[in-house]
Amino acid sequence: MPPKTRELAYAAVFTALIAASTVLTRFLPAAVVPYSLQPLLVFLAGGVLGRRMGPLSVMAYILLGLIGIPVFASPPYGGPAYFLAPTFGFLLGFVPTAWAVGFCLERWGNTLTAHVLSIISGIAVLYLIGLPYLYVILKFYLGQAVDVGYVIKIGFLPFIGLDLVKASVAAFISYHVRKNLNLNQV
């Protein structure tokens, strides 16, 4: 079944929000893995738009960056060379993260507990894709002497606490949006 115009409009709004959120991170100190609001918006995309349109909005964001529009959080900000950026794995992980959140909500229903658990599952998906990619790029492409512990130290430990806060906020917002707009069928 092709998406409805309303669904495409919602997906486009999330694509724009994710892209706009990266501008805020450019004012923070540089790090291998930058702090960003993108995970919050990806969790919301999956939670509000569901397993079909949530990932579509995230894929549109990634494609915008890969064609050269400067929407990514760290240099080079866009273009196909970003495939070799250590953090690109987290961007790739955003797509299945949004899908996992939407999929879990389809199975578990529109309760606050279901939203919290679905977003926590999304966090797991995000790190299961992002951390190995970070390791591979740092070790094999950039030739750095890194081990799994170092990757966890720079890519997981500084972020998991804040990601859990983002998950709580996203769960609260997506639950109420779905409840108030009757988006259970999306």
According to the model, what pLDDT value does residue 186 have? 43
pTM of the full structure: 0.91
* Centroid of chain to Cα 130: 10
CATH 1.10.1760.20 fits 5-181, yes or no: yes
CA distance 47 to 173: 9
Closest CA to 66 of 49, 57, 79: 79
CA distance 29 to 7: 36
CA distance 100 to 58: 13
CA distance 139 to 145: 6
**What are the residue ranges of helices labelled H in the chain?**
5-25, 38-44, 50-66, 88-108, 112-136, 148-155, 157-181
According to the model, what pLDDT value does residue 58 have? 98
According to the model, what pLDDT value does residue 23 have? 79
- The domains of the chain are located at 5-181
Local structure of 79: helix, strand or coil: coil
Rounded to 5°, angle at Cα 58 from 53 and 61: 130
Map tokens 């990266």 to a residue.
Answer: 22
pLDDT along the chain (186 residues), means of 10: 90 96 73 77 96 97 96 87 93 98 96 96 98 97 94 94 94 94 58
According to the model, what pLDDT value does residue 33 have? 61
| Per-residue burial over 23-38, b = 16 or more CB atoms within 10 Å of its CB, e = otherwise | eebeeeeeebbbebbb
* 25, 35 contact by CB (below 8 A): yes
What is the Cα Rg of the chain in Å?
16
